[in-house]
Structure 1
């Protein structure tokens, strides 16, 4: 299943959800966010749902809900602002920027809680073109 990475340079790339146990997956996800990232922060940015149409209700179908992962300590790592992530997070309303690269991932409710997963094909096909368009607009600014 696919996840989407958006860099601080406004580049969009598609990756497969890493295989392995929970710890191994989290390590790969953190590495995708950036070499300094050791702890991923789970963010549910309003504009991902309100403007791009991503679903935010976690269910038992893999990837039907989406969210954003960022570097928990990004502000301490002196990372560049991620303008797409900041837009999705509504930084213009509250002033707290998203820094570093971001991942858009799927979620699923399991018997043990919420796990990250790849996006369903339907969600990927909905969000990927909109995120590409958004990053293009940001590059043109």
Structure 2
């Protein structure tokens, strides 16, 4: 487990040494991904984030924050987000890579969100000028 955690810390980056497992409602309600964890063939997608991200000098993650519902409760996601599949194994949940079909769908959705957010931020900057 420690080796897996170390690998996850490195994938999240930005000096991560403590992981928080997040199941953001918009990932399921708006993007249509599964939040049902299974023992096999699980397609349950979740996010892993740096538990102490707010204490570090990292930028807010706009997409992660939106999926997490920052506009509803004010809690933003800071730093990188790692999307994983949740699978029941033994006595708990393990995190694995996302199967190709789900990955392609999520990747396209995140790219579209990034383009839309970038355009929104740019237009807001232009409106202030």
Residue 131 of structure 1: how far off its partner (Å): 1.0
Give the distance between the partners of 2:33 and 2:62, measured in 1 at CA: 18
Give the distance between the partners of 1:114 and 1:75, measured in 2 at CA: 25
Between Structure 1 and Structure 2, which shows a larger proportion of strand residues?
Answer: 1
Give the distance between the partners of 1:106 and 1:63, measured in 2 at CA: 7
| 1:118 paired residue number | 97
Bigger Cα Rg: 2
| 1:46 paired residue number | 25
1:63–1:117 CA contact under 8 A, matched in 2: no
- Superposed CA offset, 1:51-101 (max 9, x none): 111100100125411100100001111321000000000100111111001
1:1-141 → structure 2 map (5 Å cutoff): 22-141=1-120
TM-score by length of 1: 0.80
Equivalenced residues, count: 120
Between Structure 1 and Structure 2, which shows a larger proportion of helix residues?
Answer: 2
Q: Which runs of 4+ in 1 moved over 4 A?
A: none
Q: What's the C-alpha RMSD, in Å, of the aligned pairs?
A: 1.3
2:14–2:80 CA contact under 8 A, matched in 1: no
1:106–1:117 CA contact under 8 A, matched in 2: yes
Give the distance between the partners of 1:139 and 1:109, measured in 2 at CA: 37
- Superposed CA offset, 1:12-51 (max 9, x none): xxxxxxxxxx322221211221232101100000101111
1:70/1:52 CA distance change after superposition, 3 Å: same
Give the distance between the partners of 2:78 and 2:14, measured in 1 at CA: 13
